[in-house]
């Protein structure tokens, strides 16, 4: 009697518990061809997988190209670059591949996701398909849900059909839907006149392109992001210049702070003249032909000078203001960052901002030229600008 509980448990256990005890088969290889049947579950993996023998249990196939040409007794799962099912599947079918082709019927549910999904036979259960190009030409025995760019329907559908098409929906002649057809698309479906829909058609016009209001919002957001990124880049550059080259930044500020108004005006006029004359000189040298190489070199130097002038203009503003307000003699990176931030905000003012930026850039360019001239040519005690 002590074995009675175990005997009762064995009699009440489902037959599937004993079926699950069947050994699983594992097949791997570069170019794998499975030609022996599997009494239980099977797992196949390879660059190329071809299944030519039946599988009594579940089948899982993984590969670059997978072809299932033999019946599957239970569920089938395929993950591949290209998947083709050419034999019946008694259970559920799950497909994840770039190109999906279904040529035989499915006894359970169908779920397929891929760039291109082509289903020629129906699934007895529910159907879910998502892809760029979707063709469900074999109908379905249960409810159908399809998401795609271009969707084509054909065959007999026993339940409701829901379609979301970004481009268009086409119904082939002879398509019969016993339930309702609910779809969203930019334009009405093509082929509705040659199809039979018993449950009625429910169409929602949906444009997946942004409207005028959304476009304006996106434009404003894009401009805001661009300005924010530009300001952050300028702040980072100013901090690096002040931190890595403090002596040069101090020399640029020294051309304005503590100097006579005449000297400041002359430095600004020198920088403005360089900004105006530089492109003209490059153009004249390029037109002569003989001075083309010199024109290219001068253009590179001019671009570098303008870039440094833009960078040092904010540095000069911040460090000069800090010296005037707090009498700080050194060059601190945070002063350079604050000055660049103030200059970036001032540049947003329609007309006055342009004038402020032009004056500061002209002063920075003139200061850099004066420093270079003094370093290269002038006597240490001689100031070329007075």
d(CA 37, CA 54): 5
pLDDT tens sequence across 129-173? 999 999 999 999 999 999 999 999 999 999 999 999 988 999 999
pLDDT band at 382 (very low <50, low <70, confident <90, very high): low
| Contact (CB, 8 A) for 367 and 373 | no
Backbone angles phi and psi of 205, in degrees to 5: -75, 120
pLDDT of residue 145: 96
For the cut 70, the answer to whether the pLDDT of residue 202 exceeds it is yes
Give percent above pLDDT 90 in the chain: 42
C-alpha closest to that of 82 among 56, 64, 55, 102: 64
| Contact (CB, 8 A) for 297 and 281 | no
For the cut 80, the answer to whether the pLDDT of residue 14 exceeds it is no
pLDDT tens sequence across 262-292? 888 888 898 899 999 888 888 888 887 667 8
d(CA 290, CA 369): 27
d(CA 85, CA 55): 13
pTM: 0.55
pLDDT of residue 8: 36
CA distances from 245 to 201, 300, 312, 336 (A): 72, 22, 11, 12
d(CA 86, CA 283): 70
d(CA 65, CA 105): 21
| Contact (CB, 8 A) for 50 and 34 | yes
Q: Tokens 């009625």: give the residue.
A: 200
pLDDT of residue 380: 54
């Amino acid at each position: 009697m002590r074995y009675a509980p175990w005997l009762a448990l064995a009699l009440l256990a489902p037959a599937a518990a004993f079926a699950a005890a069947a050994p699983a088969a594992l097949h791997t290889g570069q170019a794998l061809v499975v030609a022996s049947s599997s009494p239980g579950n099977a797992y196949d993996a390879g660059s190329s997988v071809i299944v030519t023998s039946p599988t009594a249990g579940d089948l899982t196939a993984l590969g670059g190209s997978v072809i299932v040409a033999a019946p599957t007794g239970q569920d089938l799962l395929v993950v591949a670059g290209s998947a083709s099912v050419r034999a019946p599947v008694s259970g559920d079918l799950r497909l994840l591949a770039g190109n999906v082709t279904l040529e035989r019927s499915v006894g359970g549910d169908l779920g397929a996701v891929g760039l291109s999904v082509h289903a020629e036979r129906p699934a007895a259960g529910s159907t879910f398909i998502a892809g760029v190009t979707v063709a469900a030409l074999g109908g379905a025995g249960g409810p159908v849900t399809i998401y795609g760019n271009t969707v084509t329907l054909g065959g007999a559908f026993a339940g409701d059909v829901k379609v979301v098409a970004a481009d268009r929906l086409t119904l082939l002649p002879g398509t019969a839907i016993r339930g309702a057809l609910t779809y969203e698309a930019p334009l009405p479906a093509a082929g509705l006149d040659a199809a039979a829909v018993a449950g009625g058609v429910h169409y929602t016009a949906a444009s997946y392109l942004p409207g005028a209001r959304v476009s304006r919002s996106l434009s404003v957001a894009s401009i805001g992001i661009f300005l924010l990124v530009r300001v952050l880049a300028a702040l980072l550059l100013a901090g690096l210049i002040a931190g890595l080259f403090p002596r040069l930044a101090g020399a640029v500020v020294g051309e304005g702070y503590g100097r006579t108004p005449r000297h400041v005006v002359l430095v600004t006029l020198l920088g403005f003249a360089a900004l105006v004359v530089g492109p003209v000189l490059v153009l004249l040298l390029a037109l002569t032909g003989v001075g083309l190489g010199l024109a290219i070199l001068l253009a590179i130097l001019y671009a570098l000078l303008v870039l440094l002038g833009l960078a040092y203009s904010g540095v000069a503003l911040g460090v000069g203001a800090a010296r005037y307000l707090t009498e700080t003699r050194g060059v601190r990176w945070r002063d350079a960052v604050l000055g660049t931030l103030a200059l970036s905000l001032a540049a947003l003012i329609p007309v006055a901002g342009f004038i402020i930026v032009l004056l500061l850039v002209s002063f920075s360019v003139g200061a850099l030229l004066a420093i270079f001239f003094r370093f290269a040519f002038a006597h240490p005690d001689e100031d070329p600008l007075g």
